[in-house]
Amino acid sequence: MNKTDALDWIHSRSKFKIKPGLERMEWMADKLGHPEKKVPAIHVAGTNGKGSTTSFLRNLLQKQGYVTGTFTSPYITHFNERISINGGPISDEDLIHMVEKVKPLVEEATELPIGEPTEFEVITMMSFLYFEEQAVDVMVIETGLGGLYDSTNIITPALSIITNIGLDHQDILGESYSEIATQKAGIIKEGVPVVSGVEQPEARAVIVETAEKFLASLYQLNEDFFVKSEEAATFVYQFQTEEHYELTMIGEHQKKNASLAVTAIELLKKQGWNMDRTLYAQALFETKWPGRMEVIREEPLTLLDGAHNFEGTIALVETLKKQYADKRILVIYGAIHGKPVKEMIGLIREVAEEIAVVSFEFPKALQKQDYHFIDASLTYYTRGKDAYEAFRQSYRKNDIILCTGSLYFISEIRKYIEPYDGL
């Protein structure tokens, strides 16, 4: 088996078939000796900010000397990014090895009443196996969708984090903030501390109720710990001490994500983990995450941001208004079905001089007729690279080219822009 064979097999699983329940994961875990129980874990759920919070956590833990595995989704450049140790993606050889270990179980399960494991279930189990084999000190596990029935939810972590609640994937998770919060709160376990950045009152009430039910200590943003924004990327963090931090990652929302990660580290310290507070500032400042307000080129100045839902778009627009108010912003936008695209484009119009909408290689990507049904005046390009070339031709010194929308679009356009002109 080579890497192409391995990836083809993974992707041949039922990718878009949501199968509620953890029976398949529990069955595979039992057959493999429960690798998910062999490594201390931090579980991260939430509508937005999971990837950034996970990245802050990884850097904080790594700076303390802990070998840290991370499981994230989706990937931006290469599939291997989804399963990483200390920021280094799994090697092709190890990826193939993990597939060879999981494949016979998947084939066996397919013949049983529990049925065929999904693609996400397969990758999740591969990550648990890999982290066990590599004997990492800790693994930070990001949910794929929701929490309660997510395949990652077979773990009992040392700590749980719920970043925020937004109206996304409503066809699966529920229509209201409280319904979605119920799904996210599904990661809360008996006696396991929870860090929450949830802000809506109805969603917070669900988190509080669930934490009380499971006797889980709850630490909430703006109640137990606080973020006071200063200029640009600096902020004051208040929990057990008051500290000043500066980030490389842009946006007020990133200050909140960073505060969730620091609070988690402080709680691990209370559990007996060795943590040196003097190392926090450098770890936070050095944290970067692809596709999140990422400056990928300086000339022309090009940013990538995966604002793939309504709340993410609000955060993007607020950041642009604060950081780039003096710039002419040219937007290349690619979206998928199932999102409030009309409303999201409406938000982007508040800051954009021009908007070009595009399709990309993904089954659910919007096509020309979809965009024109929303707004017939939108300028459409078949591919993001064509829109990028058009904006390059009209680029002026004070401009920004911003590529945003689905993370699957960001993944595609990044591969085109990053090596541009040999850079």
Neighbours of 205 (CB within 10 A): 14
219 sits in which H/E element:
strand 218-220
3-state secondary structure of 306: coil
* Separation of alpha carbons 111 and 100, rounded Å: 18
Output the domain CATH number for residue 399. 3.90.190.20
Q: What is the pLDDT of residues 175-199, one digit of tens each?
A: 798 999 999 999 999 999 999 999 9
Instruction: Supply φ then ψ for residue 47, to 5 degrees.
Output: -70, -45
DSSP state, 224?
Answer: T
The residue among 266, 286, 306 that closes a domain is 286
Q: What are 227's strand-pairing partners?
A: 237
pTM of the model: 0.91
Task: Please state the domain count of the chain.
Answer: 2
Q: Which domain holds residue 36?
A: 3-286
Tell me: pLDDT of 400 over 50.
Answer: yes
For residues 334 and 384, is the Cβ–Cβ distance under 8 A? yes
Q: Are residues 158 and 230 in the same domain?
A: yes
Tell me: pLDDT of 34 over 90.
Answer: yes
Mean pLDDT in residue range 152-173: 89
Tell me: pLDDT of 168 over 90.
Answer: no
Neighbours of 237 (CB within 10 A): 22
**Measuring CA to CA, which residue among 300, 282, 276, 313 is closest to residue 399?**
300
Q: Are residues 197 and 109 in the same domain?
A: yes
139 sits in which H/E element:
strand 138-142
Tell me: pLDDT of 422 over 60.
Answer: no
Q: How confident is the model at residue 421, as a pLDDT?
A: 47
Backbone angle region of 118, left / alpha / beta, with phi > 0 → left and psi within -120 to 50 → alpha? beta
Q: Are residues 66 and 24 in the same domain?
A: yes
The residue among 258, 286, 314 that closes a domain is 286
